[in-house]
A and B are shown apart, each in its own frame.
Chain A
């Protein structure tokens, strides 16, 4: 029964993502993430390397692409109308300046934001007219809607692109996750706002599990698997609110530890989860003297490690709170043992 339920959810929540074997599947426009470029820039760095070097993609981005502004939308400095026109501007730049039809974003909040605007334009023609008119008035640009998934108005997330090409990536991998227990943590803004745009749906999302399985990991389940990491925009951004973030992380990791004390790997696709599920383990260790030692890697970092990229220089595991070496040892990934942990992380 359990499996049947999962399979049904999986069948109901499919979306097409062009692979590199399909026409147009090698040329992508991509939107960088404000959060990643500020708090974890190396994750986009390794993502880029894999998509270009290992999948042979051409990635185009314009100097004039801006933030989608959604941190400010969920942080209450802009209106929905602002988001519509900024989204339309970024789409227009990608299509009319760079000549791309397929677009992905590195941030799940951008993914949700762009998806929300596209659905709004589809469902309410008067808002589409407003956007077209305001875009023209403020920028002189022409309105254009991307149709990335299955020919319908849509964009996808970078982790979708990894998922779609997972067999190719697994075939190139130098290392495997055989014998390694792992679990996914899906960003809320990837899965919960528009479950129909989430591969597998909100309850059984497949985007990261599919990647982990392709690399041979054993997937575990735990009660609080779908609980938010507590990033919360204004909650994580202002130190005096961050008890909410730390509490959410504690609730999740305590639940994982009770169910699977031998699982030390969580795979993420959201910038916020990637940073705070790791960082708050440091707070918890200091405040409660409780250690979880669960490595939090995003889909690009993990894929990079398994493809043989350097854990520090390429995958950027210099700045994690939880030491990465135990996981590297478990997988069998070599690193310079003549150096101390600090020397490996501090090249200058």
Chain B
């Protein structure tokens, strides 16, 4: 039993997700992500149960833990009451804290999660904002969405869900600064800010500089595909 496994064991997400896995494979049979990707929740449970740090480290550096779609179909079906999706959440946090996430293509996408979901909460109190759903990043929403997006202030008025109102309840309102301060303090105190900082630091270490991290971010913003950014050869 190694130090990585010991750290994993401290996470309440792990404690709640792992009872004892008999490796029946039901989770993989029902898993939507296992169907379309090189991913098996059964394999994840197997590796974790080995308590072997070397195997766990390889897992944390791989794309695998990032394929889970968090639908929890595995939880419903597990005959032993395990919750693989929660174990995956614990592994992802461990991977972020140690910077291992930056070693895989899917892991590096964590920068977008941090700068979209994370920073949105800290700035506005919502994980998603209306301006995030751009036609460029969501082309499947179609031409009517493009029209909506260009006219979103008026369209929302017309639908009776006006946006960005101040000192008012309602959809997409401006949350008062004093309430946002409370949320920021919660995120600080409960370790979420540290988790987000670890993403920026891990990316900087992997890509070589803050400027390269910005280049990676801009590539994604502009093309919607981080694979268009080439990882600098630092050998």
Contacts and interface: CB of A to CB of B under 8 A. Distances in A.
Interface stretch (B50-58, B112-120, B208-216): B112-120
11 contacts: A61-B169, A64-B175, A66-B175, A77-B117, A139-B186, A193-B72, A195-B76, A237-B113, A239-B224, A242-B140, A319-B142
B128 A38 contact: yes
Interface in B145-186: 145, 147-148, 151, 154-156, 158-161, 163, 167-176, 178-180, 182-183, 185-186
B113 A234 contact: yes
Given A228-B69, A313-B158, A77 B13 contact: no
Contact of A66 (B73, B132, B179, B192): B179
Q: What are the 6 A-B residue pairs with the smallest beta carbon separation, nearest first? A: A232-B69, A64-B179, A77-B118, A71-B127, A66-B125, A239-B224
Contact of B114 (A45, A67, A77, A227): A77
B235 interface: no
Contacts of B199: 77
A347 B113 contact: no
A291 B78 CA distance: 35
Interface stretch (A259-267, A278-286, A327-335): A278-286
Contact of B76 (A65, A69, A202, A346): A202
B190 A72 contact: no
Interface in A145-200: 188-189, 191-193, 195
Interface string B27-41: 000001101110000
Interface stretch (B1-9, B18-26, B88-96): B88-96
Contacts of B130: 37-38, 41
A240 B128 contact: no
A72 to B, nearest CB: 4
B191 A72 contact: no
A39 B133 contact: yes
A73 B72 CA distance: 14
A226 B77 CA distance: 12
Interface of A: 32, 34-35, 37-39, 41-42, 44-45, 48-49, 60-67, 69-82, 84-86, 89, 112, 127, 134-135, 137-139, 141, 188-189, 191-193, 195, 202, 226-228, 230-235, 237-244, 246-248, 251, 275, 279-280, 282-283, 313-314, 316, 318-321, 345-348
Given A45-B171, A71-B117, A80 B12 contact: yes
Given A41-B161, A77-B192, A244 B69 contact: yes
A345 B145 CA distance: 10
Interface residues of B, number: 88
B126 A80 contact: no
B145 A348 contact: no
B185 A37 contact: no
B234 interface: no
B217 interface: no
B69 A63 contact: no
Nearest to B146: A319
Given A232-B69, A233-B70, A348-B151, A66 B187 contact: no
Contact of A248 (B32, B113, B191): B32
Given A41-B159, A89-B182, A232-B33, 8 more contacts: A78-B118, A85-B190, A135-B186, A141-B182, A244-B67, A319-B148, A321-B140, A347-B158
Contacts, number: 265
A28 to B, nearest CB: 13
Contacts of B36: 243-244, 247-248
B140 A67 contact: no
B183 A42 contact: no
A125 to B, nearest CB: 14
Given A192-B72, A237-B112, A240-B225, A134 B190 contact: yes
Nearest to A35: B128
Interface string B103-144: 000100110111011100100011111101100011011101
Contacts of B116: 237
Nearest to A232: B69
B159 A42 contact: yes
Contacts of B67: 244
A139 to B, nearest CB: 4
B110 A228 contact: no
A188 B72 contact: yes
A230 B160 contact: no
Contacts of B148: 318-319
